[in-house]
Structure formats: C-alpha cells, structure tokens
Amino acid sequence: MHSDSTEKRAANLSRRGFMRDTTLATAAAAAAAAGLGAALPQDAVAAPMIGSSGSLPVPKAKGPRVVVVGGGTAGLTLAKYLKKENPKFDVVLLEKRSQYQSCFCSNLWYPDVVNMEYLSNHSYIDAAQNNGYIYYNCTATGLDREAKRLYTNMGEIQYDFLAICPGIDYDFTRFGIPADDLDTQFACRQMFPGGWIQPTEQVAVRNKIQGFAGGIFVVTVPTGNYRCLPSPYERTCVIAGWMKKNGIKGKVLLLDPNPDIVIKAKGFHAAFDELYKDIVEYRPSSTIRGIDPFKKIIHTELEDIKFDDATLYPGVQGGYIIQQMGLVSPDSTQREANIDPFHYNIKGDPYVYACGDVRPMGYSKSANTANSEAHYVAKVIASRATDKETKIPWISPETLCYSMVGLQPEEAIYVDARYNPKTFGFTDVKEDDTRSKANAAAYLAWGKGIYTDLFT
C-alpha cells in the first residue's frame, strides 16, 4: 500500500519498537507542544519519560470511526462536516489544547478592536455536543498505519479513517539561527514572540504592544509560504494605529525579505503612506541572516538594525506531528504533509488524510482556506467510505482574507481568490484595496461566521 519504504518504516512500528518510539515520540510531542519544533535536540528526544499505554478512554465506535487530530480551523470543520456527510461516522476529535482561542482575527485584539471574548468564547465541548461527535483533550504522539492505530499521550485509538490537521510550527533556521542554537531560539521565542501559533504568545504580544513606551518596534515578514500572508502587514498597521491613537513616539519598522508587499500591496502602501507616514518605515528586500535577541540587534544582508521591541515571525513548517509520523513530503521545503493534492490522503494510503496549513500546496495558509478545504475533504472521506476510488469532483478552496489597516475609523481591505488546479496559484481574484468601514464591518462578520461554522 505504501510506496515509500522510509515512510513505511516510520509508520509500521513494531510493538517493541513502539514502546521505545512512543516514549521518544511522546517526549518529542511534549517538547513540540512546548514550542521546541524542529530544533528538538537529540538529548531531549532520548530523555526517559512515562509513556501511555492502553486504550484512549472513549466510548466504543458505533460506526466507521474517523479520528481527527487537531481542533483548529481545519479539524473543527472536518469533524462537523464528516458527521453531516455521513451520520453513521463515529467521529472523534483530539485536540491538545483545553481551550480554543483563534489565531485569525487576533491582530484585532491587540488594539482592542475586538475583545478576548470574541476570540475565545468558543467551546470544544459545545462544538462536539452540537454536532454529534466526541471531543477528547489529548496530544497525538505516533501512528501505526498498518494496524490503523493512533497513539496519544492518553492511550491508543483504532481508526477506520484518520485526518491530521495540526497546523504549523515555527522554523527558526530561516532567521539564520542554527537548529542547535536553542539559547538564541528560545530568547527570540520568549522575548519577542510572533503570535502566529499559541494563544499564550498572543497575550505576550498584546502586552508588548499596549505597554510599548516608544522607540523602534520591529515586525518581520518570513520567507516561504508562511501562515496568513497579509498578517505581518496588518500587524504593522494595528501597532502603528495604536501608537498614533495613544500618542506614543516612535516607529514601526517592517522588515520584508520580498522586494515589495506580497499581497494587497496597494491597500497596505496607501495605509502606510496616508495613515502612518511618520510612524511606519517599510524596508523591502531585507532578508534576516541572524538575530541577537540579548543585544536587540537584527542582522540583515545589508545592515545591523538595533530595536527596542519586536514581534518576530520566523518561517513556518508543517505541524511537528507530521514529522514524527513520517508523513512529510520529500518535495516540501517546509516539511508539509505528503498528500495527494486533490484528495488529501497521504500518498498511497486512502485511510490517512491531512489538511489545513499542513498541506504542501502553495495555497495561502489562512482560516477561510482551511475551512472551505475541510468542507471538501469531509466529502472525499465520506465518499471513500463507500468507494475507494472517490468520484467527488475537486473543489477549490477559497481564500477570503480581510486586513484592518485603519483604527480611527476602523477601515479594512480584502482579497478573495480561488485556486488554479494546475499551478495551485490564485485565480478568480477579487481585491479591494480601498480601505473602508464597510470592509471593516464585513471582517468582523466574517470572523463570527467562521466561529459559527466551527462551533454551532
């Protein structure tokens, strides 16, 4: 069934090997959950720890069991729509966080455009209850595809179908920080968090922005296909808007490795020039080659930049669990999942799927993309349950992405696009670069619409 022998070795753990590998994988998962990502040192992987054994304590399957790993945008959508596509499915959603807090719209919380309730007053329990599936708070740690068994820190679970939606992890090597330089990585993580993954980062970022006393505040744009293309540019606007509103003296310095803004360029340039002329300094073609977080210096190819505070966004890679499970695409420079791009199953395995930001296709890694994509993947899995050769016609995901550029008044711009199945690039693009209050209202309504789709 599996063509790749390396993949097969990783997937087909022997029982004996499993105890060892699960212990390692669990340690690795715990480390990844703590934010270590790809830079996990071998010593840490080999550290002894208490593994889990036995079955995950969930009710017996009452139909074909579909296990979904990750209760973010893709996983929550998938769990709900799998049940709608086939009410006989016994769906189990596994999520390592105990409380939901959305990444999307989090830039709006920093300057108090929305409150915390908007982002996090959403319950996994309500979502499961409203949609007839089981939610369990645990961390997936390993996989035996031959036995169709998933391992977690709370026990193992058999599946008929498995969907892995773990989102992303950071890759600090893209900042020129060596993989084994954990001192520098952790100083960056903790002193200048990005806020693109964990809720706790978002709290730290908000405290930084609202506590900024003045000087140079740096925002960085990563290289590669990072999560939410417009979000560093939007972040720049909301920090500048906050400073303007509160009379804070200083500058937001946006370092971009690209020669120009990569999305909604006209709208962002207009905001930078017209709303934040004396506050935002946009520096294109600034590729970061190293960071000294202790001295607060960023080294680019051309210069050394001293800063007072920052929110640093390194590059991204597929959610770490994909690596632990041996499911990384050999063609993905960002260690994303090795899936059939039209049916989302791991190549050669019709029982294991991956979607959301962990996909290797060049789609914009955003909430609307993950949500619309998961609607389609639910159809594919439902179809596969009755017919191995699914006839479901491919449906393009839709990327609808707003950015708040003005705060007084609140004004936004947006882009809406679908994808070309040959290139996986944008097609049918509608872009509104003229900032408006109507777009700002539509932005907030869009966020509420996604929460409604995930939780009710």
Ligand X SMILES: Cc1cc2nc3c(=O)[nH]c(=O)nc-3n(C[C@H](O)[C@H](O)[C@H](O)COP(=O)(O)OP(=O)(O)OC[C@H]3O[C@@H](n4cnc5c(N)ncnc54)[C@H](O)[C@@H]3O)c2cc1C
How many CB atoms are closer than 10 A to CB 430? 10
Rounded to whole angstroms, how far apart are CA atoms 81 and 454?
10
Chain residue whose CB lies nearest ligand X: 72
Rounded to whole angstroms, how far apart are CA atoms 228 and 221?
11
CB of 172 vs ligand X, minimal distance in Å: 17
Nearest in space to 52 (alpha carbons), one of 91, 94, 7: 94
Nearer to ligand X by Cβ, of 22 and 73: the residue is: 73
Contact 196, 57 (CB under 8 A): no
CB of 50 vs ligand X, minimal distance in Å: 18
Q: Please, is 311 exposed, middle or buried when counting C-beta atoms within 10 Å of its C-beta (0-12, 13-18, 19+)?
A: buried
CB of 394 vs ligand X, minimal distance in Å: 19
Nearer to ligand X by Cβ, of 75 and 257: the residue is: 75
How many CB atoms are closer than 10 A to CB 42? 9
Nearer to ligand X by Cβ, of 50 and 213: the residue is: 50
Residues listed for the chain? 456
CB of 123 vs ligand X, minimal distance in Å: 14
Beta-bridge partner residues of 93:
68, 135
Please give the residue ranges that form the binding site for ligand X (CB under 6 A). Answer: 29, 69-75, 94-97, 103-104, 106-107, 139-140, 165-167, 195-196, 227-228, 231, 319, 321, 356-357, 365-368, 370, 401-402
Nearer to ligand X by Cβ, of 124 and 249: the residue is: 124
Burial 200-220 (b: 16+ CB within 10 A, else e): ebbbbbbebbeebeeebbbbb
Nearer to ligand X by Cβ, of 241 and 319: the residue is: 319
CB of 92 vs ligand X, minimal distance in Å: 12
Nearer to ligand X by Cβ, of 227 and 384: the residue is: 227
Structure tokens at 234: 């939007």
CB of 295 vs ligand X, minimal distance in Å: 27
